[in-house]
C-alpha cells in the first residue's frame, strides 16, 4: 500500500529544507519507488495483445530496462522525452530534484520509465498517480498521466508496455479503478489495453488556471497541452 502522507507534505511546506544537498548528480540517485514492485506484475492479466509477449521484468531486449524514475534521469533525457508530449518549461536540476523529493515523500507518485541502457537514454515514460478517497471505503483511485514514447522508438510496443506496467501496478497497489484523459485518436490505443468509455460518463471537463509559456525552449514546437 502507498505510504500514508501527512498534511504538511501535501501542502508542500518546508520542502526545500527536506531536500538533501546534492554536490554532484547521482550522489544518492534514489528510485522514486521500490523497483521490486515491477517484478511481480502479471502481464497475463492484461487484455493487451503483446506480440512478442513482453513484460516489465523482461521487455524483450537486453538493453531495455523498465524501472521507476531515478534522480539521475535528469541527465538521461527524461525531460526531453516529456517535451514530446507537452511543454515542459525550463526545469533546472534543483527544480527537478525538489519535485522528485516531494513525490517520493508523498508516496503516491509512480513515475515509471523505459531506459535504453546502451545510450543511457529514457525512451518511454508513464505516471501512475494515486488519489486518496473517502468514498469506496476510503478507497484509492488511480490516474494515468503523461504517457510518452520517444518518437524514434514508437510502433514497437513500448507504449503498450509502459501503459500496461503502470495499469497493473495500480491494481497491485489496491486501487479500485484507473482513469485517463486522452485525445480522441488515442481511444483505440487505450481501449486495446482494457480502458473503456462508460456510456453517459465519458466527458472530460477542466478549467485552466494558467496559460502555457509560449517562449519555453523545451516545448516550443509542441501544441499538445497536458
Ligand X SMILES: CC(=O)SCCNC(=O)CCNC(=O)[C@H](O)C(C)(C)COP(=O)(O)OP(=O)(O)OC[C@H]1O[C@@H](n2cnc3c(N)ncnc32)[C@H](O)[C@@H]1OP(=O)(O)O
| Residues within the interface to ligand X (CB under 6 A) | 84-85, 144-149, 154-160, 180, 182, 185-186, 189
For residue 33, the minimal CB distance to ligand X (Å) is 19
Of the two residues 59 and 159, which places its CB atom closer to ligand X in the complex? 159
Of the two residues 101 and 148, which places its CB atom closer to ligand X in the complex? 148
Of the two residues 82 and 105, which places its CB atom closer to ligand X in the complex? 82
Separation CA 67–CA 57 (nearest Å): 9
Helices (H) and strands (E) in the chain, counts: 7, 5
Which cell goes with 159? 507504449
For residue 31, the minimal CB distance to ligand X (Å) is 22
Q: What strand order describes the sheet that includes 140-149? A: 64-68, 109-116, 121-132, 140-149, 177-179
Q: Do 167 and 46 contact (CB within 8 A), yes or no? A: yes
Of the two residues 15 and 153, which places its CB atom closer to ligand X in the complex? 153
For residue 9, the minimal CB distance to ligand X (Å) is 25
Residue with cell 480502458: 195
Of the two residues 65 and 154, which places its CB atom closer to ligand X in the complex? 154
Segments of the chain assigned E as strands = 64-68, 109-116, 121-132, 140-149, 177-179
Residue nearest to ligand X (CB): 159
Q: Residue 113, by phi and psi: left (phi above 0), alpha (psi -120 to 50) or beta?
A: beta
For residue 125, the minimal CB distance to ligand X (Å) is 9
For residue 75, the minimal CB distance to ligand X (Å) is 21
Amino acid at each position: 500500500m502507498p505510504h500514508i502522507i501527512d498534511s504538511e507534505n501535501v501542502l508542500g511546506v518546508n520542502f526545500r529544507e527536506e531536500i538533501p544537498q546534492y554536490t554532484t548528480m547521482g550522489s544518492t540517485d534514489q528510485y522514486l519507488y521500490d523497483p521490486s514492485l515491477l517484478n511481480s506484475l502479471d502481464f497475463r492479466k492484461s487484455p493487451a495483445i503483446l506480440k512478442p509477449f513482453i513484460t516489465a521484468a523482461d521487455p524483450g531486449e537486453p538493453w531495455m530496462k523498465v524501472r521507476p524514475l531515478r534522480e539521475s534521469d535528469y541527465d538521461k533525457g527524461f525531460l526531453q522525452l516529456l517535451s514530446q508530449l507537452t511543454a515542459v518549461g525550463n526545469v533546472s536540476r534543483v527544480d527537478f530534484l525538489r519535485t522528485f523529493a516531494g513525490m517520493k515523500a508523498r508516496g503516491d507518485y509512480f513515475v515509471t520509465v523505459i531506459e535504453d541502457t546502451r545510450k543511457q537514454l529514457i525512451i518511454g515514460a508513464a505516471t501512475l498517480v494515486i488519489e486518496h478517497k473517502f468514498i469506496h471505503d476510503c478507497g484509492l483511485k488511480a490516474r494515468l498521466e503523461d504517457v510518452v514514447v520517444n518518437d524514434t522508438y514508437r510502433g514497437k510496443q513500448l507504449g503498450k508496455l509502459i501503459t500496461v506496467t503502470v495499469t497493473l501496478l495500480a491494481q497491485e497497489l489496491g486501487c479500485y479503478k484507473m482513469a485517463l484523459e486522452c485525445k480522441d485518436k488515442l481511444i483505440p490505443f487505450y481501449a486495446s489495453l482494457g480502458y473503456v468509455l462508460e456510456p453517459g460518463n465519458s466527458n472530460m471537463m477542466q478549467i485552466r488556471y494558467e496559460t502555457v509559456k509560449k517562449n519555453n525552449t523545451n516545448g516550443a514546437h509542441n501544441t499538445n497541452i497536458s
